Chains A and B, each alone.
Chain A
Amino acid sequence: MTTSTSAADPVGLPQAGDAPAAPRRPSRARTTMRWLPSIVLLAVILVAWQFLPGLTGTQSFIFPTLSAVIERLTTPETLQLYLSNAWVTTYEALIGLAIGLVLGVLIGFLLGTFAGARRALYPYLVALQALPKVAVAPLFVVWFGFGLAPKVLVVVMLAFFPILVNTMSGVMSIDQDKVDLFRSLVATRWQSWRQLLFPWALPGIFAGLEVAAVLALLGAIVAEFVSAREGLGIVLQQQQNTYDTAGVFAVLIILSAIGLLMNLAIRLVRRWALAWSASSQGVEL
Chain B
Amino acid sequence: MTAAEPITVDGVRKTFSTPGRPETTALERVELTVGAGEFVSIVGASGCGKTTLLRILAGLTPPSNGEVRIGERVVTAPDRSVSLMFQSPTLLPWLRVLDNILLPLKLRGRIGAPERDRARQLLAQVGLDDFGDRLPRELSGGMQQRVALCRALIAAPNVLLLDEPFGALDAMTRDQMNLDLHRLWSSTPITTVLITHSISEAVMLSQRVVVMSPRPGRIVDIVDVPLPAERHGELIDSPQFSETSARIRSHFARH
Contact = CB atoms under 8 A, between A and B. Distances in A.
Interface string B118-143: 00000000000000000101000000
B250 to A, nearest CB: 33
Contact of A276 (B79, B80, B103, B135): B135
26 contacts: A175-B90, A177-B86, A177-B88, A177-B90, A178-B90, A180-B86, A181-B84, A181-B86, A183-B78, A184-B58, A184-B83, A185-B104, A185-B107, A186-B78, A186-B79, A187-B107, A191-B107, A195-B92, A195-B103, A195-B106, A199-B92, A276-B94, A276-B95, A276-B135, A276-B137, A278-B137
Interface residues of A, number: 18
A95 interface: no
B93 A276 contact: yes
Given A177-B86, A278-B137, A184 B93 contact: no
Output the residue of B93, B107, B135, B137 with the most chain A CB within 10 A.
B107
Interface of B: 55, 58-60, 77-80, 82-84, 86-88, 90, 92-95, 103-104, 106-107, 135, 137
B182 to A, nearest CB: 23
A187 B86 CA distance: 17
Contacts of B84: 180-181, 184
Nearest to B136: A276
Contacts of A59: none
Interface of A: 175, 177-178, 180-187, 191, 195-196, 199, 276-278
A182 B91 CA distance: 11
Output the residue of B55, B59, B84, B95 with the most chain A CB within 10 A.
B84
Given A181-B84, A191-B107, 15 more contacts: A177-B86, A177-B88, A177-B90, A178-B92, A181-B86, A183-B78, A184-B58, A184-B78, A185-B107, A187-B107, A195-B103, A195-B106, A276-B137, A277-B94, A278-B137
Contacts of A185: 78, 80, 103-104, 107
Contacts of A177: 86-88, 90
Contacts of A199: 92, 94
Contact of A186 (B87, B94, B107): B107
Contacts of A180: 55, 60, 84, 86
B93 A277 contact: yes
Contact of B82 (A178, A182, A184): A184
A8 B49 CA distance: 66
Nearest to A183: B78
A234 B84 CA distance: 62
A195 B82 CA distance: 21
Given A180-B60, A191-B107, A276-B135, A186 B90 contact: no
Contacts of B94: 199, 276-277
A181 B87 CA distance: 12
Given A177-B90, A178-B92, A199-B92, A183 B60 contact: yes
A178 B148 CA distance: 12
Contacts of B86: 177, 180-181
A260 to B, nearest CB: 29
